[in-house]
Structure formats: C-alpha cells, structure tokens
A and B are shown apart, each in its own frame.
Chain A
Amino acid sequence: MAKITFIQPDGSAQVVTAEPGLTVMEAAKMADVPGIEAECGGACACATCHVYVDADWREKTGKPSDMEEDMLDFAFDVREESRLSCQVKVTAELDGLVLRVPAKQF
C-alpha cells in the first residue's frame, strides 16, 4: 500500500492509503478527496482531476504523456508540476507522495 497526501488550497491535508495498481484519481475518489472531480471517470478526457505534484516527487511521478499534455490544455492554472491524477498509477515507489489540489478545477 502507498500513502498519498492531498493538500487542499486552504492547507488542510488528507492522507489516503492507496492500493498499487489503482490510479491516483481512483484512490482520491474512494477517499472522497475534495476537488478531484474526475468527470469523465478516468478516460483522460476532461482534465477535472488536475493536481500539482510536490517538487520532491516530480521525478518519480514522471512527465505527462502527449495525450495528457493535450488534455491539460483544458485545465486551469496549469504549471510545470501539473498532472492529471487519472494518468498517475499508484506504485509502492510512490509511498509518501504529496499532491496539491488546485483551487479551481473548472
């Protein structure tokens, strides 16, 4: 299992225990993390599961694919550390991952 911390814009943090193999979005939805809407259900088709990856973790989570970059065009306030959480797979390596939820998800 991997522990993932979601930090809300107000600074509050929620630690979610996620099973490897799930996507980070699925783990967030199961734990009702606010601000992860995932309108399309994980098809990389809506950009409403946008998160910012903490600087220490950017190498481990990697860069978005071309398809994900295209979909990030539909997100708001996209930054270098932006990812769509439906495209990040939970692995044992990501135990301790810290993510920030954007203030607005469109």
Chain B
Amino acid sequence: MTVLERPDGAQPEPIETDVVIIGAGPCGLFAVFELGLLDLKCHVVDILGKPGGQCSELYPEKPIYDVPALPIVTGQELTDRLLEQIKPFNPVFHFGERIDGLARQTDGRFLLTTDGGQQFLANVVVIAAGGGSFTPKRPPLQGIEAFEGTSVFYSVRRMDDFRGKDVLIVGGGDSALDWTLNLQPVVKSLTLLHRRDEFRGAPHSVNEMRRLVEEGRVRLMIGQVTALHGEGSKLAAATVKTAIGQETIGVETMLPFFGLTMKLGPVADWGLNLNENLIPVDTEKFETSEKGIFAIGDINTYPGKLKLILSGFHEAALMAQAAQKIVYPDKKVVFQYTTSSSSLQKKLGVK
C-alpha cells in the first residue's frame, strides 16, 4: 500500500491522476479494483488515518453476514481482503486529509484541494464518502461555536498555542490522556475532566496521569461540563457538574475529546444536487448532477437504494465503465471476465 505523507508546510504541485476517490471505505477500495481493470489510476483520500471507513472505525471486530460468498467476515477482515485484492493496481492513499475544494477547470478536469493544501487534477471524481467525513463530536453546550478555533479545539495542531494557558481537557480515552501528558509541561494549569474515575486509555498513560495528579501538577475532576462562559471568542470559565454539586473553574482553552461522528461536510459545497444529505445519482452510471463526478455507496440515493456493501460494489463496477469512457473516450470497451481474459489477468499480475 502506498501512503503519501507530506512534510508540514510543503505546497506541492497538483498530483495528476485519472481518478480521485473520496473515501477509503469498502466501496472506495473496491472502486480501485473496478477502475484498475479498465486501466484507470486512482488516488484515494480519506479523513481517517487508515483504510476501511466505518468498517474499521466503527466495527472492526463485528461480524458482517451479508457479503456474498463470505458467510461471516469482520469489518477489519473485509478491509484487509479488499486491500489485498486491489494491490495489483497500486492505488496511492492520502490518509488524514479531507477534500475541501472541488472545482472544474477549463480543460474539463477537476481540481481538488485537501484541508492540508494538497491538490489533485483528475478527469473523474468518485465520491465514496459513506455517511460523510468523520469529524470530532462537538459537545452540545450552548454557545460553544463562538469559542471554536480560538479557545475550544478538537485537536492539537501546535503545542505552542497552549503555552502558559489554563487548559481544560475533557475525556477519558487515549487522546485526552496523551494530550494531558504532552501539554502539562507547557501550560500554566491543566485540568483533566472525565465523567467517571475510570479511563479507557493505555494503562501506562493512565498511570502517568495519576502520577501527575498525585504530584499536584494536573487536577483531575470527575464530572461533566454543563456550561461555558466567556466574552466573544475568548473562553473564561467552565461550569462542571460533579457528584457533590457544581463548580465553575477558570479556563482559557478547552480540548473536548468525545470521539468522532459522521457529517456530510464539504460535499455540500460542491454545487451537487443533494437530497437530505445524500447525493442523487442515476442507476446506469451512478453519476451525480455533475458530469464526471460519481457517487457510490452509502452516500448516494436512487429509487430502491439499499445501504449495503454489496450494492456499493455493484455501483462501483458500473461507475467504472462510465469513468473509462471519460478518460479514454475513443477506446473500444470489450467486456471481459477475470476468469478467462488474459489481458485482465495480466493486470492482476496472475499471468
């Protein structure tokens, strides 16, 4: 698997490719296969740090019973098998990046831009984004939006932003613990707030955190935030409900770690027709309202749509036929089976 990582701050040239697939879930992965058989090269972008989409993020260990010919397969196994299946086509993966911009160029190709600044020029775009992009959960606290980006953060980009600040970290998993340990030396004060005195994180992180608490360098509070206070975008305090009552603590920044949720995200801004956060497509090519942009898997809708992995696979196969006509308009398409076609077998590396 080729994973492209980019050094911070680099502004690379746009990557030119036949197809950009948005989403590395099962449908996005299988699209690489179907497109690959038709000689289309793919780059795959996913906001998660690994392939598999919901299969690996939400239920890696849970069995799936309705993938044809696999009576039982876990989300992770399915992902691993798909990765093996598409290996001959050598797709390039871009993990931890979200496609923010998508615009057609004068030459008919699409210019795609990620949140990290990476650009792609592609003839075809395949949106296989499932339930949308996984984004950090926003605690439903009144007025929290105003503080986001200045006082409330869902990730740490630069530790320096927290230097000398009164920081509140909320959560009980590895993110909350890791940042407690990493930020403690640079902040003015650090409070770790969790709803119970049990932590899901790695045991050594938990021990390390407990040590800092014992030494008085971290304050551990057991409770939940109920309100935020401040002026404009500047957070000043948070009210915390504890077992014994309420306490308002002075904090300048807050890092809530409540896991991920799926949001449609930037797809909504690309000028495509949408229907209740889904992308309507035809059932011949699975093309959106924009020629050359296809949508497959859970994110599309059409009469009779079923959100099944097997339906997404079918959609990928038909989409690939239409994509090939865009990239190679003059090529005569001859339908072939992998079982008997020597040219397909050559592409798969089995001949």
List A residues at the B interface (Cβ < 8 Å).
Answer: 39-41, 43, 45-48, 69-70, 72-74, 76-78, 103-104, 106
Contacts and interface: CB of A to CB of B under 8 A. Distances in A.
Contacts of B54: 40
B59 interface: yes
Given A39-B261, A69-B198, A106-B261, A76 B58 contact: no
A106 B62 contact: no
22 contacts: A39-B261, A40-B54, A40-B59, A46-B261, A47-B259, A48-B261, A69-B198, A73-B194, A73-B200, A74-B137, A74-B259, A76-B140, A76-B224, A76-B258, A77-B224, A78-B195, A78-B224, A103-B140, A106-B137, A106-B139, A106-B258, A106-B261
Nearest to B172: A73
Contacts of A73: 171-173, 194-196, 200, 258
A39 B198 contact: no
B62 A43 contact: yes
Contacts, number: 49
Contacts of B137: 74, 106
A105 to B, nearest CB: 8
Interface string B180-205: 00000000000000111010100000
A90 B198 CA distance: 29
Nearest to B140: A104
B311 to A, nearest CB: 15
B265 interface: no
A70 B59 CA distance: 15
B150 to A, nearest CB: 22
Contacts of A72: 195
A69 B196 contact: yes
Interface residues of B, number: 24
A47 B195 CA distance: 14
B230 interface: no
Contacts of B196: 69, 73
A47 B258 CA distance: 10
Interface in B139-172: 139-140, 171-172
Given A39-B261, A73-B195, A78-B224, A106 B173 contact: no
B139 A76 contact: yes
B131 interface: yes
B268 interface: no
The 5 closest A-B pairs by CB, nearest first: A104-B140, A43-B59, A45-B58, A74-B259, A40-B58
A21 B68 CA distance: 26
Contacts of A104: 140
Contacts of B195: 72-73, 78
Interface in B297-323: none
B333 interface: no
Interface in B258-300: 258-259, 261-262
Contacts of A74: 137, 258-259
Given A43-B62, A104-B140, 18 more contacts: A40-B59, A45-B58, A47-B259, A48-B261, A69-B196, A70-B200, A72-B195, A73-B172, A73-B196, A73-B258, A74-B259, A76-B139, A76-B140, A76-B224, A76-B258, A77-B224, A106-B140, A106-B258
A39 B131 CA distance: 9
Nearest to B176: A73
Contacts of B173: 73
A78 B225 CA distance: 11
Interface string B53-69: 01001110010000000
A45 B56 CA distance: 11
A13 B302 CA distance: 34
